[in-house]
Structures are given as structure tokens and as C-alpha cells.
Amino acid sequence: MTTDHRTRRNYLNANYSIWSWLFTTDHKRVGILYLLSVTFFFFIGGAAAVLFRLELMTPRGDLTLPETYNKLFTLHGIVMIFFFLVPSIPAVLGNFFLPMMIGARDVAFPRLNLASWYIFITGGLFTIWAIVTGGVDTGWTFYTPYSSTYGNTNVIAAALGVFIAGFSSILTGLNFIVTTHTMRAPGMRWFRLPLFVWAHYATGLIMVLGTPVLAVTLLLLILERALGIGIFDPALGGDPILFQHLFWFYSHPAVYIMVLPAMGVVSEIITCFARNRIFGYRFIAFSSLAIAILGFLVWGHHMFVSGQSMYAGFVFSFLSMLVAVPSAIKVFNWTATLYKGTVTWSTPMLYALGFIGLFTMGGLTGLFLATLAVDVHVHDTYFVVAHFHYIMVGGAVMGYLGGVHFWWPKMTGKLYPENWARFSAILIFFGFNLTFFPQFVLGYLGMPRRYHAYPEQFQVLNVMSSAGASILGVAYLLPLGYLIWSLRYGRRAGRNPWRATGLEWTTPSPPPTENFPDGTPIAGDAYQYSSVDDWDLVLPAPEEHPEEAAV
Amino acid sequence: MTMSVAHHFDDVEQQKHAATLGMWVFLASEVLFFGGLLAGYAVYRALYPEGFAAGSRHLDLWLGTLNTAVLLTSSLTVALSVEAIYSGNRRRAGYLLAFTIVLGIAFLTVKGFEYAHKYHEHLVPGAHFQFVDHAEGDAPPQGVELFFSCYFALTGLHAVHMVIGIGLFGVLVFELLREKGNAPSPLRIEVAGLYWHFVDVVWVFLFPLLYLIHVAE
């Protein structure tokens, strides 16, 4: 045996040719392909945000034309939601780790998995084409009749891009559901599944059942614009509100597509770095399913002022508040897991704790918005913008970055520089709050969203927000830098740098193509953590695993 | 009949479970795909019952009935083909699937004639839409153009699904009837058949919702 680890075969060095990546059916490589693509889209969407935050530094519109401003926030919304947030955790971390966590060699349909990436890229190219040939100004919501009849921007290409990308989401969700049902290793009973898997199972259900409704809605919009098949056209007796109903039937559950996987990530991180068994395993597991199901019943809270019936408003208001229950169950269980745990302030833990705080803020302000009378006041103001950014950025992006840091050593076999990572995690938390907290105040004071100019009394808060955004922008670039740096200069990670439980930590880092070189693992109970562990043993250290040497 | 097992599965049972569950989950997704459109149909039919009935009167009930019979028969031939491949009769399975394709193309041909007829009657929604109903006088009831929007969207989407199904069967027929090479896994035929039955069931809903709503009056 030799300790020359460079010669050990793993999924990364199994084959270096470009074709071996473009035609791979290895779920880990598909995950990496998604990682590269969503990172690209994240910085495109981020660049748009930088531009309109610059514009909002001053009350008058002096940097961009109003039309350009509209296109910028539309671009930001479409790219961030459909091409970053929806695929981020599921398609990157879910693809990579869901099969490993249940002890499988791959997802149930590896070729479909690769196909989903190509579909995603095709949709992305359509959207980028729509952007570079003039842009879209409908907002990411594509509301009719502006999008179908009056708008004169590239609605068809952008909607087509989102329509196509939707199918990649459906295929990913389908793969997760079937993989969880059929590919579990011996002993991996349902209540031994890591909570990450439960969260992705619930996400898969939403992807499979919600996305097709958005797909057909956008298809109808495209048909209306291109061929005059006027389903939503008021001139023919069509109802533009019907578009909003169909749109939000997907797009509200889509919020849970973004945040449920992040909750799964946080469940893994909290229990690992508190050295404590997860509190209330079954409650967390079932609350994921409850969120997925309830999430389908609340879409009308986006339409309290759109002219839907008052009674529908009552019902949607009540149901929306119900979603807070399973969400709060998760937060309380994570907190209880921390209680009397041996907490370490590692980078993933910082992100996870940030998630809990910011998600709670976002969730509680969601209750404001679910309350009919309050919503009438703050509807379409920056209050709403702040609220959903606390959920999507404070929640989903924090969860994603926490997960990327948590599993980075497994994916690459390298450790990132811990202090840089902690610094940027704290910087992100700080920059995020400075960006979005002032927007709650702005919204409450009455500043409407989606305008490039505003009255002068709002300037101080807007400058604070823009300053926060610039900090946030730098803080997002840091991980890009040091993670790439770690690929070459990072210390070797060993199999299990965090001494985490879970089957994915029982294989070499990076894992070999077949995942478990010693044969299918046998699963035991999840989260066998004990706070009596000596944490000194847990700090990352270059481990020597002679058995991982070249075969 | 033996089946090969893909590398990431442990055994045939697991592979079969995954493939059939995968198709069922996909079909659940498809139900919601058509469901969104049918929800729109339901809203507009509730708003404009006269317009929808008037539009429905302009569909050819006989051609619709003929197509229903053709499509139901094609589901039967698929089921028989699955039966044949599991009992090891490769050629018969191939011919039955080929006959299914013929029936599918027959359905699409009839549909094509219906579409052409609607086009000549100016019943395709858009700038050229013109509805003249002699039974009702000259003023067309409100919502009739929406009916035809729903009609073309629903049947068009259904036709796209049929084209995909015919393509799937085309590959399977080629693999079943070629002289050399292995027969396709029975599982693939069964799963493709599941899809075809779904497309058939969609039509079973579309036919009454589009062609029959004026009959009860």
C-alpha cells in the first residue's frame, strides 16, 4: 500500500476528457455540472441587482432609463428564481448526496438526470437570448394582459426559457421520489433517512405536481402572444386573474421548493455541529411533508388586492397562517437540538444559525402579509420585497452556502480556509441585514416596489440598503475565490472531517464513481451524535486513511 | 424472458419497481399539466355556458366518436402487446405495437381533417376568427372564441403527447421486429404502454368536455 493519494481513483479523476463530463450519468458529476451552471446564473442575477441598487442610491432616475430598470429587476427575478434558487440545493447537493445518504450507487434514472441538466441549460440559453436581444420588462411574474397583449419586449423567449427549465425541475423531482422509494440500502428504513432526504422528498412532490401547472400557464401565454389563442384576453371575455391563479398555484409552492431543501441542509448541519441528536426527528420529517401539502393551498394570498372574492381571501389568509405551524416546529426543534449541545462555531454552523434567525424573521413578517388588512397596506411595497428576500436569500441562499461548505470536503476532498470562510459567512449575514432590513421600513412607510425613482424622504434608507448590497456582493465573491483556491492549495479532507454521521461520510473523499467501494453499506439509526464526543477530535485535521490508497 | 439489470440496481425487481413508479410519478405530473388547462376550461364554461355550447355544436360529433373508438382500440392493442412480450412472443408484440402506431396515426389524421375544417370555417382563434351560428341568429354568444381557444389548446396538447407516444413505439417496433439484436426489455414496452393509456384517458375526458356538452340540452 502506498499513501500517494493522487493516484486513487475517484469520480473526478476517473476520466479527464470533456466528453466524459458531457455524457456522464454519474449523479455526482451531474451535481457538479449543476454547481457550475447555477453559480454562473447566480452572478448574472447578482450583477443585475448591483445595477439597480446603484440606481436606487438617488431619488431620481439618473443611472438607467425606466425601461432599463424594469428589465433589470425582471432579469434579476427570472434568473435568480428559475435558474438559481429552484435548482440550487436540489440539483447540486441533492443530486450529489441524496443517493449517497441512502446508500445507493446512483439515482434511479441516471440518464434522465443528465437530460435534466441539458434541458436546464437549454432553458437558460433561451432566457439569456431573451436578455441580450432586448430584455423583458414584465417582472418575473409575467402578469397578463401586460405580458400577453401590451408589452413589447421578448416575453416569448423568456417564458419559453422558463417553460423549458421547468421540465428539468420535474425530472429532478421525479428522480428524487423514485430514488427514495426504491434505492434505499438494506436497513435504511424511512425513519432512518437523514432529514435532508425527507426534505428533498417533499420538494420532489412539489416539483412534480406544481411545475406542470406553471408550464401549461406559460405555454398558454406563449400561444396567446404568438398565435392569438386568447385564453387570458379580456377583449374575448378571458380573465387575466385566471393567469394569476394558475401562476401562483406553482409559484407559491415554488417558495417551498427553494426553502425546504435548505431546511434539510440546516437539519444536517445543526445536529452535526451541536454534537447532539436531532430533537424531534419525526416532527421535522413530517413537517416537511406538511409544508409541501399546505403550500399548495395558499396561493391566493398573493391576490388579496387582485379582485378575488372576499371569502376566498378569508380562506387563503387562514391557510397561509397554518403554514407557519410546521415551519415553527422546525425552528423549535433545531433550537432544542442546540440546547445543551456542544456547539462549534464552524462555517456551516454559522450559515445554519444565520438561516434560523433570518428565516424566522422572514416567516414572522409572512404572517403580517397573510393578514388581510395588513396586506392591503403593504401589498406591492418594499415590505414584501424584504419579506421574501429574508426567506429566499436569508433562508435558501444561506442554506445553500452552508451546505456547500459542509459537503465541500466530501465533494472535492479538500478543506477550505476556515477563517476566511467564517469571515465571509459573518459578512454575508451583516451585509444581508443591512440590505434588506431597511426595506421593511421603506415598505411600511409606503415605498412601492418596481419603481426606478422615489420621493426624497426615502433616500437614507435606500442608501443603507445599497451599501448593504455592496457588502453582500463582496461577501458572495469571497467564497468563489477561496473555494477555488482550496481546490489546489486546500488541505486534504479525509473521509469525515466533521465526524458527521450519515452514509456519505463513510466513503473516501472525493468518493469513487461507484460511491461505496466496499459494497452496499448497512444503515443504522440516523444522527448517532453524542455530546460527550471530545470535540478536539472533530476539528478538521488531515486524516490518513491507508485503506484509501491506490488500489 | 430475461431482463438485463442496469449497473446501479441490485436486481430485476428493484429495476421494475423504479421504472413503473417513475412512470406513475411522471403521469401524476402530466395530470397537473392538463389539469391547469382544464381548470381554465372549467372557469370559462361556468362563465359562458351558452358560448361553450354553441362552440361545441360546431365540432363534428361523428368524427370525435370515431376517434374515441380508434384510440380505445389502440389501448387494447398496446395491452395485448405487453401480454405478448411477457409470454415470449416477440413478433406478435411487434406487430401489435405497429398496429397501435397505425391507429395513432389514423387518429391524428382525422384530427387534422377536423382542424382543416375549422380553419376554413374561420373558427381558429385570432384575427380571422368569425363565428356564424345560423341556429342562434347572427349575434354569437359571448365566450365562443374562448371555447375554441380551449379546444385547440387541449386537443393540440393531446396530439403532441400522441406524437411522442408514436415515437416511443416506433423505436420499440424497430427493436422488436429487426432480425438481429436483443428484444427490448418488456419493462420498456409496459412503461411506454402506461404512458399511452394515460394519453387515451385524457381523451376520454376531452371528448365529453368538448364534443358532448351541447347534447344534453
Q: What is the DSSP string of A446-491?
A: TPBSS-S---GGGHHHHHHHHHHHHHHHHHHHHHHHHHHHHHHHSP
Residue A469 contacts residue A436 (beta carbons within 8 Å): no
Cα–Cα distance, B16 to B69 (Å, whole number): 31
Reported as a single tens digit per residue, the pLDDT across A427-457 is 999 999 999 999 999 999 999 999 999 999 9
Taking the Cβ of residue B40 and every Cβ of chain A, the question of whether any pair is shorter than 8 Å is answered with yes
Using the beta-carbon criterion (under 8 Å), do B30 and A212 form an inter-chain contact?
yes
A112 neighbourhood in chain B, CB within 8 Å? 22
CB-CB: which of A105, A208, A229 is closest to B25?
A208
Helix A240-251 / helix B12-47 crossing angle, nearest 10 deg: 160
A229 neighbourhood in chain B, CB within 8 Å? 125-126, 149, 152-153
Using 50, 70 and 90 to split pLDDT, how confident is the model at A522?
confident
Of residues A252, A258, A283, A254, the one with CA closest to residue A370: A252
Cα–Cα distance, B12 to A519 (Å, whole number): 18
Using 50, 70 and 90 to split pLDDT, how confident is the model at A533?
low
Using the beta-carbon criterion (under 8 Å), do A181 and B17 form an inter-chain contact?
yes
Reported as a single tens digit per residue, the pLDDT across B132-179 is 766 656 677 889 999 999 999 999 999 999 999 999 999 999 999 998
Considering chain B, what is the average pLDDT of its residues?
92
Which of A112, A207, A213, A249 best tests the B interface by mutation, with the highest count of B CBs <10 A? A213
Q: What percent of chain B has pLDDT over 90?
A: 79
Higher-confidence residue: A351 or A538? A351
The pLDDT value given to residue B136: 56
**Which grid cell sits at A476?**
458572495
The pLDDT value given to residue B135: 60
Q: Is the predicted pLDDT of residue A539 greater than 80, yes or no?
A: no
Q: What percent of chain A has pLDDT over 70?
A: 95
Cα–Cα distance, B95 to B98 (Å, whole number): 5
**Which grid cell sits at A381?**
411595497
Higher-confidence residue: B4 or B16? B16
Please report the number of interchain residue pairs, chain A to chain B, with beta-carbon separation below 8 angstroms: 115
Taking the Cβ of residue A522 and every Cβ of chain B, the question of whether any pair is shorter than 8 Å is answered with no
Taking the Cβ of residue B146 and every Cβ of chain A, the question of whether any pair is shorter than 8 Å is answered with yes
CB-CB: which of A112, A182, A231 is closest to B153?
A231
Taking the Cβ of residue B87 and every Cβ of chain A, the question of whether any pair is shorter than 8 Å is answered with no
Residue A214 contacts residue A166 (beta carbons within 8 Å): yes
What is the SS3 assignment for A148-185? HHHCCCCHHHHHHHHHHHHHHHHHHHHHHHHHHHHCCC
For residue B177, give every residue at least 6 positions away whose Cβ sits within 8 Å of its Cβ, in sequence order, or none: B91, B94, B95, B98
User: Rounded to an integer, what is the distance from CA A204 to the centroid of its chain?
Assistant: 13
Taking the Cβ of residue A230 and every Cβ of chain B, the question of whether any pair is shorter than 8 Å is answered with yes
DSSP assignment letter at A90:
I
Cα–Cα distance, A72 to B57 (Å, whole number): 48
Residue A318 contacts residue A368 (beta carbons within 8 Å): no
Residue A65, Ramachandran bin (φ over 0: left; ψ between -120 and 50: alpha; else beta):
beta
Structural domains of chain A, with CATH: 30-550 (1.20.210.10)
Taking the Cβ of residue A241 and every Cβ of chain B, the question of whether any pair is shorter than 8 Å is answered with no
Residue A475 contacts residue A398 (beta carbons within 8 Å): no
Mean pLDDT across A395-418: 97
List, in sequence order, every beta strand (DSSP E) within A109-264: none
Using 50, 70 and 90 to split pLDDT, how confident is the model at A269?
very high
For residue B11, give every residue at least 6 positions away whose Cβ sits within 8 Å of its Cβ, in sequence order, or none: B5
Dihedral angle of Cα A220, A225, A229, A232, to the nearest 10 degrees: 60
Mean pLDDT across A214-230: 93
A238 neighbourhood in chain B, CB within 8 Å? 44, 146, 149
Q: Which range among A198-202, A211-215, A497-501 shows the weakest confidence by mean pLDDT?
A: A497-501
Q: What is the pTM of this model?
A: 0.94
Reported as a single tens digit per residue, the pLDDT across B67-113 is 999 999 999 999 999 999 999 999 999 999 999 999 999 999 999 99
Of residues A411, A279, A400, A277, the one with CA closest to residue A348: A400
CB-CB: which of A181, A183, A216 is closest to B36?
A216
Taking the Cβ of residue B48 and every Cβ of chain A, the question of whether any pair is shorter than 8 Å is answered with yes
Reported as a single tens digit per residue, the pLDDT across A45-79 is 999 999 999 999 999 998 999 999 999 999 999 99
Of residues A525, A524, A521, A526, the one with CA closest to residue A103: A521
Taking the Cβ of residue B42 and every Cβ of chain A, the question of whether any pair is shorter than 8 Å is answered with no
Reported as a single tens digit per residue, the pLDDT across B3-13 is 578 888 988 89
Residue of B nearest to A228 (CA): B126
Predicted ipTM > 0.85: yes
Residue of B nearest to A110 (CA): B8
User: Rounded to an integer, what is the distance from CA B59 to the centroid of its chain?
Assistant: 18
Structural domains of chain B, with CATH: 32-211 (1.20.120.80)
The pLDDT value given to residue B129: 87
Cα–Cα distance, A50 to A41 (Å, whole number): 14
